[in-house]
Amino acid sequence: MTFGNRLKQARENKGYNQKQFAERLGVTPTRLNYWEKDKREPDVAIIKQIAQLLDISSDWLIGNSVISSEVELTAIEKQHINKYRSLDLYGRKTVDSVLDIELERCSLVVGMPHMISLPMAELKASAGTGQWLGDDEYTERVNVVDTPEARKANVIIEVSGDSMEPLYHDGDTVLVKLQPSIEQGEIGIFIVDGCGYIKKLGYNELISVNENYDNIPLNEHNNVTCVGKAIGIAEIV
């Protein structure tokens, strides 16, 4: 079982949906969704907060098992353990706090990817039945991992629904290059009669990749606007 599987299982066992638990943590549902899909992992401080809110062990959450007697400790490690056991409750809490601070520092320093900032649309592009998507609904900027695709994007739009699976999933944050048109066969963000969609462009229709959903026929009576081209998934940090 992965970190994301354990997090989702523990969250559901406590009766939270993603939005509710994200609010308790003080993060966006998108970021929680990334953790549960194992696209990224939170830092040490957040892991401790998750464990406390869900009444679970941090070790279980990150997949650490209890050290068995078969593990060979070095002489220095044995000395540290003996010293720790000799401390009173206050001393152990002090040592634990220092360890947590240093673990968090190391997790932030080691392998930290370069970031760039992009505006994120307040409203979502539906992969299902359609949502209203305004022209100027950019309310905040978010940090995303710097990739060639991210450098080409002008905005991030979150996906709602599963009609574009397996290419795009519910909750994915899509990198969008703003442009007035795309080629047939490409995936873009469209506004059809005031409703926003992420779909593949076909001949006089917008195509759902998931076969369980119907395509959206287009005719001269529709008011259709191409917002831009979907060029990848943004990894929000």
- The first and second tokens of residue 83, run together, are 């010293």
Task: Give the CB-side neighbour count of residue 160, counting CA atoms within 13 A.
Answer: 16
Write down the pLDDT at residue 82: 86
pTM of the model: 0.52
Write down the pLDDT at residue 230: 93
Write down the pLDDT at residue 45: 83
Q: Which of 95-104, 150-159, 200-209 has the lowest mean pLDDT?
A: 95-104
Confidence of residue 236 (pLDDT cuts 50, 70, 90): confident
Mean pLDDT to the nearest integer, 185-195: 89
Q: Is the pLDDT of residue 149 over 60?
A: yes
Q: Is 206 helix (H, G, I), strand (E, B) or coil?
A: strand
Of residues 68 and 4, the one with the higher pLDDT is 4
Task: State percent of the chain over pLDDT 90.
Answer: 16
**Burial of residue 229 (number of CB atoms within 10 Å: 0-12, 13-18, 19+):** buried
Q: What is the pLDDT of residues 89-142, one digit of tens each?
A: 888 889 888 888 887 776 655 455 678 888 887 666 665 544 444 444 555 788
Confidence of residue 85 (pLDDT cuts 50, 70, 90): confident
Distance (Å, whole) CA 175 – CA 1: 30
Distance (Å, whole) CA 95 – CA 100: 9
Mean pLDDT to the nearest integer, 24-43: 84
Q: What is the pLDDT of residues 40-53, one digit of tens each?
A: 888 888 888 998 88
Mean pLDDT to the nearest integer, 164-186: 90
